[in-house]
Chains A and B, each alone.
Chain A
Amino acid sequence: MATEQNSVSEKQKGTWERPSTFYNKYTKYALYVIIIGFFAWSFIGTGFDVERILQGYGELTPVIGIAWPPNFEDRFLSLYFQGIYESVGMAFLATIGGVLISIPFAFMGARNIAPRPLYYFARGIFVSTRSFHNLIVGIVFVTAVGTGAFAGILTFMFSTLGYWAKLMAEDIEDIAGNKLDSIRAVGASPLQILIYAVVPQVMPRAVGLTIYRWDSNIRGSIIIGIVGAGGIGLTLINSYRRYEYDVTLAILLIIIAIVLVGEVASAYIRGKVQ
């Protein structure tokens, strides 16, 4: 019976070809050609040049000579401290503020509990907040509220909204719905269901995400000064413009240290929570 239904004749059974992932063979080769073409086009368009790598290496050596040893003189220390203080403070406030404004959006963006119009509204907010890099958002806020750490705080609150609220919304969508039924069945209001059945289920994840966001905001706040939004990034870019490469190196070392501490602290706390 099997041989009757099988369209492959006995003779053809000696050869076998892996079924193509693509529509057919020709589509596959066409795609390969397009990819190679795009690669070549990018290569030409960006002026990629091997010779310049070697040349650049030669230019770099004197820079390293000026940069070493890193400058930790007293008169610069207070400048570094001011910058770090601003960066870390900015990251902290932006994380707290960002998470607070994210909470309602996280609920609104969860398909299983939010009414459809609110859901689409929140999803729209997520997409728009996530479309722009921090530096672009930073430029906008600097233009709006002037230079300084306040613009930086607004920038990271904005990016926390897009990130924290979106991931949280997805976690809320994954919770066990039958548990909501049991709280619904006692006659609880929708808000009580959120507080009593939804929040306890997503709490560990919320804490973990917040810590992760804090960690990532610290890294961002170090660099956001480049567009004038406060923090140590401004000191960094200034030293670079003045060719004070020893100061630049000192700041880079400090940044590495902060990021490391932040990473370790965040890993430790998240380990404790989950």
Chain B
Amino acid sequence: MLSINNLKKTYSTGDEALKGVSLEISGNEQVAIIGPSGAGKSTLVQCINRLTEPTEGDVYLGDRELTKLNKSELRKARRRIGMIFQEYNLIDRLTVMENTLSGRLGYVSTWDAFRRNFPEEDIKYAYETLDLVGMEEFADDRADELSGGQRQRVGIARALLQRPDILLADEPTSSLDPETSRIVMELLGDIAERENIPILINIHEVHLAEEHVDRIIGLTKGEVVFDGPVEELDEESKDVIYRGEQIPDDAADMAHSQATVGSDVTDDMTERTDA
């Protein structure tokens, strides 16, 4: 399904975010990428749909080589790749419905997009999807009136509207409280199962990953250092992934680990260019 071969990304600042990453995701696997700050998790996810342009290597989705596509081919390919963001990235001044329907933009003309004139079946599906994520009653509310958790549900609905072949989630829970994070992770799992598609989640909360996915990929300094079923992720492999840094397990731990690990300045810098 998704196949990444020897993917490298060097930013113009000289930061080597990815140093040759290879991995394969098939069928309806639910995969989490974990790793310390600055490991290149975000870069990896964004290189798949080329929001970040990889420097070297290739990415295949099905038998289509994403890294070879020209601009218009890439747009066509992106229509089938759902993406969920850390900051939700909804358009604040648009309604929940408009944000949800934006998942169909790849299929309507610019003029129709301007007039918000979407096909009837898209609107039907948008209502169904909003109902699925529990946001139907908010369809006409503006996105900036919603709470973080509600915004992320709309973000998920937008990705679903694409009828995607794969879901990418870039730190989908980082801006949410622990309880909401759990709910969002559950929702993502349910949806992937229901749509029978694979999902690749970049996440820094290890316990959330362990509870909700089948397979873990550990990324450290731009390299895959662990790849296996969640059961195989023991203390030893966590040590390898985090190299002795405190494992960020929840919000409180996260703050703590940042305080203790704060000395690693270069890692912090890389994370900033990642985001």
Of the listed stretches A4-12, A191-199, A233-241, chain B binds A191-199
Residue in B77, B81, B87, B92 whose CB lies within 8 Å of A201: B92
- Minimum CB–CB distance from B249 to chain A (whole Å) comes to 27
Docked complex: A167-203 residues within 8 A CB-CB of B:
178-179, 181-189, 191-192, 195-197, 200-201, 203
Closest CB-CB distance, A216 to chain B, in whole Å?
26
B51 interface neighbour in A179, A181, A195, Cβ under 8 Å: A181
| In the complex, per-residue mask of B87-122: 1 if CB is within 8 Å of any chain A CB, else 0 | 101111110001000111110001001100000000
- Contacting A192 at CB < 8 Å: which of B51, B76, B83, B113? B113
B94 and A188: CB pair below 8 A? no
Contact A187 B78, beta carbon cutoff 8 Å: yes
Distance A183 CA – B102 CA, assembled complex (angstroms): 7
Given the interface pairs A186-B103, A188-B105, A200-B92, the reply to whether A195 lies near B110 with Cβ below 8 Å is: yes
Q: Is the CB of B51 within 8 A of A200?
A: no
Q: How far is the CA of A203 from the CA of B87 in the complex (A)?
A: 22
Cβ of B221 under 8 Å from chain A: no
Are A196 and B93 neighbours in the complex by a CB distance under 8 Å? Answer: no
A26 to B103, CA, bound (A): 65
Is A186's CB under 8 angstroms from B78's CB?
Answer: yes
Contact A197 B75 (CB under 8 A): no
- Bound-state Cα–Cα, A254 to B106, Å: 55
Contact call A196/B162, Cβ cutoff below 8 A: no
Chain B residues whose CB sits within 8 angstroms of the CB of A188 once the complex forms:
75, 102, 105-106, 113
- In the complex, whether B79 has a CB less than 8 A from a CB of chain A is yes
Complex CA gap A187/B162 in Å reads 9
Interface size on A, residues (CB 8 A): 20
Residues of chain A within 8 A (CB-CB) of B98 are: 196
Known contacts A192-B113, A195-B113; is-contact A186 B162 (Cβ 8 Å): yes
> B89's contact among A178, A192, A200, by CB below 8 Å, is which?
A178
Q: Which residue of A lies closest to B103 (CB)?
A: A186
In the complex, are the beta carbons of A201 and B93 less than 8 A apart?
A: yes
- Closest-CB distance, B96 to chain A (whole angstroms): 13
Pair A185/B83 contact, Cβ less than 8 Å: yes
Asked if residues B75 and A189 are in contact (CB atoms below 8 Å), the reply is yes
A189 vs B85: C-alpha distance when bound (angstroms): 20
- B79 (CB) vs chain A CBs: closest residue: A187
Residue B49 at the A interface, CB < 8 A? yes
Is B238 on the interface with A (CB-CB < 8 A)?
Answer: no
A182 touching B85, Cβ below 8 Å: yes
**Complex contact B78–A185 (CB within 8 A):** yes
Within 8 A of B (CB), among A44-93: none
Complex: chain A residue closest to B275, CB-CB: A178
Q: Bound complex: CA of A182 vs CA of B98, how far in Å? A: 13
Q: How far, in angstroms, from A203 to B98 measured CA to CA in the complex?
A: 16
Chain A, range 198-220, C-beta contacts under 8 Å to B: 200-201, 203-204
> What's the minimum C-beta distance from B262 to chain A, rounded to whole angstroms?
25
B204 CB–A CB distance under 8 Å: no
Asked if B106 and A196 sit within 8 Å, CB to CB, the answer is: no
What separation, in Å, do the CA atoms of A183 and B76 have in the docked complex?
A: 13
| B158 contacts chain A at the CB level, 8 A cutoff | yes
Partner of B106, one of A182, A187, A191: A187
A–B Cβ pairs within 8 angstroms, 10 of them: A179-B92, A182-B158, A183-B105, A186-B78, A186-B158, A189-B75, A191-B110, A196-B113, A200-B91, A203-B93
Closest 10 CB pairs of A and B: A187-B106, A182-B89, A187-B79, A187-B78, A188-B105, A185-B83, A200-B93, A187-B75, A191-B110, A192-B113
